[in-house]
């Protein structure tokens, strides 16, 4: 089995012709944030904003073992993609917290939040994509197929001065995601045919 695929923007519309992807109203917060980052040039800010404006982004792949911190330390279990899926994401996709929809092995679709980046609190050596589905599976999901639809951006990646602060931020992300995904244009993506179709390689 191929371990993953990423479909974005025009490619998504071409590959999933049967799917009517609604126009998503993206907030201005990401654009404002990146314009305020002095470390980025104007062209970088424009590239990042253009990347975010192309959402939704669809990705899928096998669930692999991560660091085991989500359940043990945070009480927030995550499903992790293999490195090849992470590396296939657009380079201009900014690190940070996102929200959207996800399912496992073509099962029911659930709300989710996910982290894209280096997790500076833990000083990761590789970029990761960690998905927390707002559903209790009560079992290990390793080896099963995770499909996600990244709908929107929540906040940039940053470090925290304590584990408690990190957990509080993630809890805040979850509440914001729940509310945003109830909006009509975003709720429609829960019914995307992608979640029931066989995962095929883009090769």
Sketch the domain layout of the chain as residue ranges: 56-195
Architecture of domain 56-195: Beta Barrel (2.40)
Say what the pTM is: 0.77
Sheet holding 79-80, edge to edge: 4-8, 57-62, 145-156, 96-104, 110-117, 128-133, 79-80
Calpha distance 133→135 (Å, rounded): 5
Give catalytic residue positions. Answer: 130
Coil vs helix vs strand at 104: strand
> Which of the residues in the chain have pLDDT under 50?
1-4, 8-22, 27-41, 202-203
Contact 112, 143 (CB under 8 A): no
**Chain segment 112-168, per-residue pLDDT in tens:** 999 999 876 666 678 889 999 999 998 889 999 999 999 999 999 888 888 899 899
């Amino acid at each position: 089995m191929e371990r993953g695929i990423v479909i974005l923007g025009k490619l998504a519309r071409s590959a999933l012709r049967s799917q009517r992807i609604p126009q998503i109203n993206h907030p201005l917060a990401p654009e404002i944030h990146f314009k305020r980052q002095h470390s980025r040039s104007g062209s970088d800010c424009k590239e990042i904003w253009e990347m975010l404006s192309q959402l939704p982004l669809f990705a899928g792949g096998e669930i692999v073992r991560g660091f085991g911190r989500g359940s043990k330390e945070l009480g927030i279990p995550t499903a992790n993609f293999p490195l090849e899926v992470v590396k296939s994401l657009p380079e201009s996709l900014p690190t940070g917290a996102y929200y959207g929809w996800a399912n496992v092995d073509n099962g029911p679709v659930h709300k989710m939040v996910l982290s894209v980046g280096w997790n500076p609190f833990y000083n990761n050596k590789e970029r990761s994509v960690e998905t927390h589905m707002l559903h209790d599976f009560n079992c290990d999901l390793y080896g099963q197929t995770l499909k996600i639809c990244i709908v929107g951006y929540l906040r940039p990646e940053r470090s925290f001065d304590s584990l408690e602060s990190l957990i509080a931020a993630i809890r805040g992300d979850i509440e914001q995601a729940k509310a945003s995904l109830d909006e009509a244009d975003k709720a429609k993506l829960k019914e995307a045919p992608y979640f029931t179709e066989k995962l095929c390689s883009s090769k």
